[in-house]
């Protein structure tokens, strides 16, 4: 956090330096934006192929073939969920929360994509509908479906509570779900768990101190967020022990509810859709130029 009383006096031109206007780090004008029309039209006549309940304070896994949709729906009561996505055939390709944030901003909405980690960096899923899109940003700077908050985990909890042990953080729930799905030992599955999309969670950074905050989620039963799988996906969703995130963190004190995941197969893929190609970077990392430079020096 920034100090209330800085050690160093501001320079004479401090006001001018602070008044410099920001520029967007990653203008996405050159990134082909998905046309949601064909995606939504493809849902006509779709067939539900799987229905997975995520119990409170637990996680469940699910499979979504490329070209299928999946929906996460609030049922029974307000509840947030922590979502992990992997390439179903290669768990080393997984959702890259940080770069997705850099490309699309702190909170995701319809038309945004969930990008995979380096060296893959391609669209894993496209968000096709979000019933909480009306929320936008509130007066505190809070928004829904963030990619800023990693996931609740027992290590942070232990640090902040002088060694307290809690076993139903989303990190542990996702670890157990992946281990159960793959047969891996828990300690191996844990390495594959990654920073999440915080589904339905309402978060932001305080304007004065820049601290990560959460507040009661505006989600209500019947609200959903829907995705289109661009590649074959293995997913896992944790119904966070924080419930609607109105108060408690990493404890059994919050009211928690299940979440519903449904997978749908459309009669045919969206018009004009094709699976994402491999990232076009050649992965030489400048080796040829580097070698040429080395030879010139000798
Ligand atoms: Zn959590």
Domain that holds residue 219: 49-268
For position 249, what pLDDT does the model report? 65
Token reading at 251 = 């404890």
In the reported structure, the alpha carbon of residue 173 is separated from the centroid of ligand 1 by a whole-number distance in angstroms of 9
For position 29, what pLDDT does the model report? 78
Least confident interval from 5-9, 215-219, 290-294: 290-294
For position 247, what pLDDT does the model report? 81
For position 210, what pLDDT does the model report? 93
For position 244, what pLDDT does the model report? 85
In this structure, the number of other CB atoms found within 10 A of the CB of residue 260 comes to: 18
**Percent of the chain topping pLDDT 70:** 97
CA dist., res. 288 & res. 298, Å (int): 16
For position 248, what pLDDT does the model report? 65
Is the peptide bond preceding residue 119 cis, with omega within 30 degrees of 0?
Answer: yes
For position 141, what pLDDT does the model report? 95
CA dist., res. 133 & res. 112, Å (int): 12
Least confident interval from 2-6, 23-27, 79-83, 121-125: 23-27
Interval 35-41 mean pLDDT:
97
286 within some domain: no
In the reported structure, the alpha carbon of residue 293 is separated from the centroid of ligand 1 by a whole-number distance in angstroms of 49
294 within some domain: no
Write the secondary structure of 101-156 as one string of H (helix), E (strand) and C (coil). Answer: HHHHCCECCCCCEEEECCCCCCEEEEEEEECCHHHCCCCCCCEEEECCCCCCCHHH
For position 262, what pLDDT does the model report? 98
In the reported structure, the alpha carbon of residue 102 is separated from the centroid of ligand 1 by a whole-number distance in angstroms of 22
In the reported structure, the alpha carbon of residue 111 is separated from the centroid of ligand 1 by a whole-number distance in angstroms of 25
For position 298, what pLDDT does the model report? 58
pLDDT exceeds cutoff 80 at 292: no
Contact 257, 79 (CB under 8 A): yes
1 within some domain: no
11 within some domain: no
Task: Name the domain count of the chain.
Answer: 1
191 within some domain: yes
In the reported structure, the alpha carbon of residue 242 is separated from the centroid of ligand 1 by a whole-number distance in angstroms of 6
In the reported structure, the alpha carbon of residue 196 is separated from the centroid of ligand 1 by a whole-number distance in angstroms of 10
pLDDT in tens, 230-284: 999 999 999 999 888 888 666 677 889 999 999 999 999 999 999 999 999 999 9
CA dist., res. 198 & res. 181, Å (int): 21
For position 46, what pLDDT does the model report? 98
149-188: burial string, b at 16+ Cβ within 10 Å, e else: bbbbbbeebeeeeeeeebebbbbbbbbbbbbebeebeeee
First to last CA, the chain: 49
In the reported structure, the alpha carbon of residue 10 is separated from the centroid of ligand 1 by a whole-number distance in angstroms of 40
CA dist., res. 273 & res. 34, Å (int): 10
pLDDT exceeds cutoff 70 at 203: yes
In the reported structure, the alpha carbon of residue 68 is separated from the centroid of ligand 1 by a whole-number distance in angstroms of 27
For position 104, what pLDDT does the model report? 94
pLDDT in tens, 116-148: 999 999 999 999 999 999 999 999 999 999 999
CA dist., res. 278 & res. 203, Å (int): 33
Q: List, in order, residues 6 or more apart from 278 with CB less than 8 Å away.
A: 120, 122
CA dist., res. 250 & res. 129, Å (int): 30
In the reported structure, the alpha carbon of residue 123 is separated from the centroid of ligand 1 by a whole-number distance in angstroms of 24
DSSP code of 11?
P
In the reported structure, the alpha carbon of residue 148 is separated from the centroid of ligand 1 by a whole-number distance in angstroms of 13
Query: Considering the entire predicted model, what is its pTM?
Result: 0.92
In the reported structure, the alpha carbon of residue 192 is separated from the centroid of ligand 1 by a whole-number distance in angstroms of 17
In the reported structure, the alpha carbon of residue 106 is separated from the centroid of ligand 1 by a whole-number distance in angstroms of 17
42 within some domain: no
297 within some domain: no
Which residue, among 116, 55, 118, 120, has the nearest Cα to 84 in the 3D structure? 116
Token reading at 4 = 């209330």
Which residue, among 263, 254, 257, 255, has the nearest Cα to 81 in the 3D structure? 257
In the reported structure, the alpha carbon of residue 81 is separated from the centroid of ligand 1 by a whole-number distance in angstroms of 7
72 within some domain: yes
Number of DSSP helices (H) and strands (E) in the chain, helices first: 7, 13
- State the chain's mean pLDDT as an integer: 94
For position 193, what pLDDT does the model report? 98
User: Virtual CA dihedral for 94, 98, 100, 101, nearest 10 degrees?
Assistant: 150
pLDDT in tens, 47-79: 999 999 999 999 999 999 999 999 999 999 999
Q: With bands split at pLDDT 50, 70 and 90, how would you rate the model's confidence at 26?
A: confident
pLDDT in tens, 140-197: 999 999 999 999 999 999 999 999 999 999 999 999 999 999 999 999 999 999 999 9
pLDDT exceeds cutoff 90 at 31: no
């Amino acid at each position: 956090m920034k100090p209330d009383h800085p050690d160093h006096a501001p320079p004479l031109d401090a006001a001018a330096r602070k008044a410099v206007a920001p520029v967007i780090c990653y203008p996405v004008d050159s990134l082909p934006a998905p046309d949601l029309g064909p995606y939504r039209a493809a849902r006509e006549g779709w067939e539900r192929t799987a229905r997975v309940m995520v119990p409170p304070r637990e996680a469940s896994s699910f499979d979504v073939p490329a070209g299928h949709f999946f929906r996460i729906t609030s049922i029974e009561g307000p509840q947030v969920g922590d979502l992990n996505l992997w390439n179903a055939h290669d768990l080393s390709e997984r959702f890259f929360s940080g770069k997705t944030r850099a490309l699309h901003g702190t909170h995701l909405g319809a038309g945004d994509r969930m990008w995979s980690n380096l060296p893959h960096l391609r669209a894993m899923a496209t968000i096709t509908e979000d019933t909480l899109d009306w929320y936008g940003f509130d007066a505190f700077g809070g928004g829904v479906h963030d990619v800023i908050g990693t996931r609740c985990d027992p290590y942070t909890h232990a640090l902040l509570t002088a060694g307290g042990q809690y076993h139903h953080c989303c990190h542990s729930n996702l670890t157990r779900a992946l281990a159960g799905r793959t047969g891996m030992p828990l300690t191996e599955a844990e390495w594959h768990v990654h920073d999440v999309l915080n589904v339905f969670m309402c978060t932001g950074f305080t304007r004065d101190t820049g601290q990560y905050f959460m507040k009661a989620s505006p989600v209500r039963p019947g609200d959903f967020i829907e995705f289109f799988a661009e590649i074959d996906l293995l997913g896992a969703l944790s119904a966070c022990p924080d419930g609607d995130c109105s108060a408690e963190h990493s404890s059994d004190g919050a009211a928690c509810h299940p979440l519903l995941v449904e997978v749908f197969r459309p009669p045919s893929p969206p018009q004009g859709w094709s699976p994402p190609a491999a990232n076009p970077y050649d992965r030489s990392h400048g080796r040829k130029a580097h070698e040429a430079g080395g030879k010139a020096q000798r």
